[in-house]
A and B are shown apart, each in its own frame.
Chain A
Amino acid sequence: MTAKISYADVEVGTELPAQTFPVTRATLVQYAGASGDFNPIHWNEKFAKEVGLPDVIAHGMFTMAEAIRVVTDWVGDPGAVVEYGVRFTRPVVVPNDDRGTVIEVSGKVAAKLDDNTVRVDLTATNAGQKVLGMSRAVVRLG
């Protein structure tokens, strides 16, 4: 593992560069194919509404995959991630237009742990509301 961020250089409160991730219906179709999750709530508006959703929603695992990029882009080596967990608290609704929606993710060092690891707390929002809870990663720094 070769993290480009040094443990000595971070402190509790250090902010990671925030990122914005666009999501369109095309993104969801591509993610469905790559992940093998073909649940129709992620691509079929009629089905989504029949089961009580406002519209097609993004895969929770898609949002989880995007959120950790704030950490992996920060450290450089994705293999430096030791733990990663989230709670799916609110769906990301994706309208059927060419603009779609965006997921905004920020992160902050919440604790310095043993073995050059730190805990990063992530905040992921869509349309001004949090979509992930308890979103935390433990990452090994250089």
Chain B
Amino acid sequence: MAASDHIVGRGPNAGARVFSGLMPRAEAVAIPLGALLAGFLAFSLFLLFLGKSPAEFYGLVWKAGFSSAFSWQNTLSRVAPLIMAALCVALPARLGLVVIGGEGAIVLGGLAAGVTGTHVAGPLGMVLMALSAMVLGGLWIGAIGALRIKRGVNETISSLLMAYIAIALFNHFVEGPFRDPGSLNKPSTAPLDAALRVGEMPFIAAHWGVAAGVIACVLCWILIDRTTLGFAARIAGDNIRAAQVQGLPVGPLVIGFTALGGAWAGLAGFFEVAAVHGSANASLIAGYGYTGILIAFLARHNPLAILPVAVLMAGFEASSGLIQRRMDLPDATILVFEGMVFIIILLSEALYGRLRIFSPGYWESR
């Protein structure tokens, strides 16, 4: 009582109190946004160095990604696999694991969906396809978590290497045992029945994977922020030893979270097969798993933040073509752009807790 009187008494105005409560929360928004802006600025310098106009660049990004109904269609139609791939990074990251091999779970999920799809029918068949994709993706990334816990294998290295194995296995099965004999020059699994294809959502010209991605993010946010399981996972992520001393089930948590992340990535593979390609083939290996890493880090592994960041990233990628055509820049331009933003975001991690304006004490002392 006396202490709070003391603080209020020293503050020159009531606003300071509001700031002292608000600013620590604002930190989580202001630093990533600031880093994003710094990334835009750094890339502008890069463009000026090349003799190109940054204004034209950002204008085209806006035009191609966000300016019209068609732009939004272009952006949203790419977003579903990105959201799910990002969850495959974000969930293990909450336990302190850096898993970068989501691509493997996506292609294996696609394979499982494609193969299951040739044996089932009807709406239940579609559910089975999705489940098989989630199970295989979950097993694949869950195994990485298990290797980490049981054998101390570095999950970053093992997930990356296992992604290569997954792609090799995928190619083997698509070109060998599960090849549709009719797919002569592009080995694929048998084409899916029309009843097993996922359609487009009403109002937005994007398939139902987008809705599934939004639901997945909300579920994961509830899991992490609103359940005791999520609380235990966050404790283990902050300090694994302390969590073990407290008797938290660190092993099952790690395996469970990695498996869940893998299951979402597997579901991305299912939607790619059932909504876009209509069969599993090498076109599935499109690098979504790697863009997902960038999105998860930008979102600071917060499932809800993944949604806007994934839309932003999809918009950037949607503009890649227009930038090639209008500015005569190579297609790698957008990758350089994303890379610069990514590095600055990583650097900005060092700022948390260091900027005095975000500490309650700074405002209280005014």
Are A and B subunits of one complex? no
Measured CB to CB, the residues of B under 8 A from A are: none
Chain A residues proximal to chain B, CB less than 8 Å: none
